[in-house]
Amino acid sequence: MSAAKARVGIDIGATKMHGVAATSDGTVLADVLATTPTGGDAVVSAAAELVAQLRARVGDVLDGVVGVGVPGLVDAAGGNVKHAVNLGVDDWFPIAERLAERTGARVVVDNDVNAAALGAAQVTGHDDLVYLSLGTGLAAASILDGRLRRGFRSAAGEIGHVPVDPRGHPCQCGQVGCLETAASGSAVAEAWPVAGIAPAQALFDAAAAGDPRAVAVRDTFAARVADAIRLVCLTVDPEYVVLGGGVAQVGERLRVAVAHALAEQAATSPFLRSLDLPGRVLLVPGDVPVAALGAALLAGVPS
Footprint on this chain of Zn ion (rule: CB under 5 A): 161, 171, 173, 175, 178
The nearer residue to Zn ion, 178 or 183, going by C-beta atoms, is 178
CA distance 222 to 226: 6
The nearer residue to Zn ion, 19 or 160, going by C-beta atoms, is 160
| Smallest separation (angstroms) from Zn ion to the CB of 84 | 17
The nearer residue to Zn ion, 120 or 187, going by C-beta atoms, is 187
The nearer residue to Zn ion, 168 or 285, going by C-beta atoms, is 168
| Smallest separation (angstroms) from Zn ion to the CB of 249 | 24
The nearer residue to Zn ion, 175 or 269, going by C-beta atoms, is 175
The nearer residue to Zn ion, 204 or 221, going by C-beta atoms, is 221
| Smallest separation (angstroms) from Zn ion to the CB of 214 | 26
| Smallest separation (angstroms) from Zn ion to the CB of 156 | 16
The nearer residue to Zn ion, 107 or 178, going by C-beta atoms, is 178
| Smallest separation (angstroms) from Zn ion to the CB of 138 | 9
| Smallest separation (angstroms) from Zn ion to the CB of 23 | 38
SS3 letters for the chain? CCCCCEEEEEEECCCEEEEEEEECCCCEEEEEEEECCCCHHHHHHHHHHHHHHHHHHHHHHEEEEEEEEECCEEECCCCEEECEHHHCECCCECHHHHHHHHHCCEEEEEEHHHHHHHHHHHHHCCCCEEEEEECCCEEEEEEECCEEECCCCCCCCCHHHCECCCCCCECCCCCECEHHHCCCHHHHHHHCCCCCCCHHHHHHHHHHCCCHHHHHHHHHHHHHHHHHHHHHHHHCCCCEEEEECHHHHHCHHHHHHHHHHHHHHCCCCHHHHHCCCHHHEEECCCCCCHHHHHHHHHHHCCC
| Smallest separation (angstroms) from Zn ion to the CB of 69 | 22
